[in-house]
Amino acid sequence: MGLHPGAWWLWSLSLGTAATRTTNPLLLALLIATSAYVVVTCRSDAPWARSYTAFVKLALAVLLIRLVFAVALGSPIPGTHVIVTLPEIPLPDWAQGIRLGGKVTAETLVYALYDGLRLATLLICVGAANSLANPTRLLKSLPGALYEMGVAVVVALTYAPHLIADVQRLRAARRLRGRPHTGIRGLLHVGLPVLEGALERSVALAASMDARGYGRTADVPPRVRRTTTALTLGGLLGVCAGTYGLLTAEGGTYGLPVLLIGLAAALAGLRLGGRRALRTRYRPDRWDARAWLVAASGAAVAALLTLAADRDPAALHPGVVPLVAPTLPLWPAAAVLLGLLPAFLAPAPRSPATRKEPS
């Protein structure tokens, strides 16, 4: 049986959290390589497993757009190494602080590269979760109170993989028939069948949900409903207040207790709210020791890089002014390598065609 999908999401989001703690391109590249190796080693042959490449392309597009904006609109980072001087367009007084064109410095480009690479790494980590976690199994594991919201999220998450699979299938069919499958003309001929297939899947999904009684709720006493609402809203407010306290110097004493109390109240509210959902689980996924280890490996990467950002900020945030070459800090890099643990704990099973016959 495969790994619990929640473990994959916790692992991927932890790597994304670690990426937000640094702008060092060497550490970010190491995070990307770690996620890519785990995806190649552990993903299955399901349609959603093919979405990792699309997220990589999206990350490259985001990085390119960030660089284009830095060149066209400038940057608040001062610089002395001028690469090129573009024609500058004068803007009115109400647009002060924004410029079009002008000097493009190396410091501006490097700063934009570091900033864009951090966001690209975060997108790639989310793509790893989409490629590794089965969305249907993830929906089964949600609490009853979050089931309806989970359906909407799962439908949204599976839209991109199915869209990519449809585009690849239609382009392959047009290529075999000798018809254009690239460029604007190929895109126009592929777009209509893709939209038609998406509409048919939507109608089929609505029919299957209606046949299974989706949206049916149980009768809950008003007292339980009021208690659920109070616990959920109070818990969320406590989480917000506790998080704010942890992020400020003045709230360091009350931040953690308020956060823990808010989490407990929110979880209690979700548990009570689950009484309204009438549904059963067939073969529910179990959170076993492998799931704990996979989630813990990602959490360790996030925690250690957060600690490194506080202890040695210069290593995790290379200087731009003056422009210096980034260096690879050893123990943060070793911490990132802890994220490779899922590749050894939950490798994808080999298909029967690739298995060797016993001699």
Are residues 262 and 292 located together in one domain of the fold?
A: no
Q: Is residue 179 part of a domain?
A: no
Mean pLDDT of 29-53: 87
CA dihedral defined by 268, 273, 277, 279, rounded to 10 degrees? 0
Q: Which residue has the tokens 């692992």?
A: 11
Q: Report which of 17, 26, 28, 37 is spatially closest to residue 118, judged by C-alpha positions.
A: 28
Greater pLDDT, 239 or 118: 118
pLDDT digits (tens, 9 = 90+) for 176-192: 777 766 666 666 677 77
Are residues 21 and 101 located together in one domain of the fold?
A: yes
Taking each helix axis as running N to C, give the angle between helix 106-132 and helix 147-176, from 0 to 180 degrees, rounded to the nearest 10. Answer: 100
Q: Is residue 229 part of a domain?
A: yes
Which pair of structure tokens corresponds to residue 132?
């590794």
Are residues 38 and 123 located together in one domain of the fold?
A: yes
Please tell me the total count of domains within the chain. 2
Are residues 49 and 136 located together in one domain of the fold?
A: yes
Of 241, 276, 311, the position where a domain reaches its end is 276
Res 206 pLDDT > 60:
yes
Res 314 pLDDT > 50:
yes
Contacts 24+ apart (CB under 8 A), 244-248: none
Q: Is residue 191 part of a domain?
A: no
pLDDT digits (tens, 9 = 90+) for 219-273: 667 787 788 778 888 888 888 888 777 666 565 577 778 888 888 888 887 777 7
Are residues 238 and 307 located together in one domain of the fold?
A: no
Give the chain's mean pLDDT: 79
Are residues 46 and 135 located together in one domain of the fold?
A: yes
Are residues 61 and 98 located together in one domain of the fold?
A: yes
Greater pLDDT, 146 or 261: 261
Domain extent, residue 9, equals: 5-141+287-349
Are residues 26 and 124 located together in one domain of the fold?
A: yes
Are residues 135 and 11 located together in one domain of the fold?
A: yes
Q: Is residue 137 part of a domain?
A: yes
In this structure, is the dihedral angle defined by the CA atoms of residues 346, 121, 9 and 295, taken in order, positive or negative?
Answer: positive
Are residues 16 and 134 located together in one domain of the fold?
A: yes
